């Protein structure tokens, strides 16, 4: 029997946290390790009153929580296919869920039936690496956005990620220009803005694409 390397195990847990490792360790990794990138992305999300926002792969639900606190009226929805993450995000956003401002779904974004031209903003942080069919996912995002809607995608710098021992069968790394090309091909024809921010020695990217 072949044993899984730690790199493969960790990469798979980052893609889809599960079990006690996912619930305890990966949630801490996401909450602490991803905090700066999520803050950066949150600042670039143009959430206004009465907006409909959708997050793909919300993890522990911190960005959802930030957005829910930012607007009085509107709806912040999201999907994650990890049961552990949905449970943590539900706990974190309990009041907003009860008030009808947040709706969290368990499932795979690629298999969800969502209304076309429905959302003002779709966002995602640290999930693009795991897209198995990037062109299809990017086109689906464009489909569910209203005309002129925004897609905001946050990801770590490619050179930085190359230094980590990640399994490249699980993690597909992107340069900002590769993301730009992907989104142009998916129909984001009204502008693509690339933002970079350095926090200490870490470099983060956020691409804001307008449909």
Q: Using CB under 6 A, which of 8, 70, 130, 166 touches ligand SAM? A: 130
Q: Is the dihedral of CA 121, 37, 86, 137 positive or negative?
A: positive
Between helix 176-185 and helix 134-144 the angle, nearest 10°, is 60
According to the binding rule CB under 6 A, does residue 27 interact with ligand SAM? Answer: no
Cα distances from 33 to residues 83, 140, 199, in angstroms, run: 20, 29, 12
Residues 57/60/64/70 CA torsion (nearest 10 deg) = -150
Of the two residues 82 and 205, which places its CB atom closer to ligand SAM in the complex? 82
Contact 78, 55 (CB under 8 A): yes
Partners of 205 in the β-ladder: 155, 196
Q: Which of 10, 40, 54, 109 binds ligand SAM (CB under 6 A)?
A: 109
Q: In this chain, which of 80, 120, 156, 157 binds ligand SAM, going by CB under 6 A?
A: 80
Stretch that binds ligand SAM, among 105-113, 139-147, 161-169, 175-183 (CB under 6 A): 105-113
Give the range of 13-21, 67-75, 113-121, 167-175 binding ligand SAM by CB under 6 A: 13-21
Kindly state whether residue 43 participates in binding ligand SAM, applying the rule CB under 6 A: no
| Site residues for ligand SAM per CB under 6 A | 14-17, 30, 34, 38, 57-59, 79-82, 85, 108-110, 125-127, 130
């Amino acid at each position: 029997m072949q044993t899984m390397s730690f790199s493969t195990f960790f990469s798979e847990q980052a893609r889809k946290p599960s079990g006690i490792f996912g619930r305890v360790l990966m949630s801490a990794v996401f909450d602490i390790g991803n905090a700066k990138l999520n803050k950066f992305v949150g600042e670039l999300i143009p959430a206004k009153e009465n907006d409909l926002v959708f997050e793909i792969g919300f993890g522990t639900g911190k960005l959802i929580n930030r957005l829910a606190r930012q607007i009085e009226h509107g709806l912040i929805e999201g999907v994650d296919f990890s049961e552990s993450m949905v449970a943590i995000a539900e706990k974190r956003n309990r009041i907003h869920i009860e008030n009808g401002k947040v709706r969290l779904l368990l499932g795979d974004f690629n298999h969800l039936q969502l209304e076309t031209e429905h959302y003002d903003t779709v966002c995602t942080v640290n999930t693009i690496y795991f897209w198995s069919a990037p062109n299809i996912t990017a086109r689906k995002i464009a489909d569910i956005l209203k005309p002129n809607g925004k897609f905001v995608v946050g990801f770590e710098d490619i050179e930085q990620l190359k230094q980590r021992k990640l399994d490249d069968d699980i993690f597909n790394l992107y340069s900002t220009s590769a993301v730009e090309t992907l989104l142009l091909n998916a129909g984001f024809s009204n502008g693509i803005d690339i933002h970079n921010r350095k926090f200490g020695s870490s470099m983060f990217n956020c691409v804001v694409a307008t449909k």
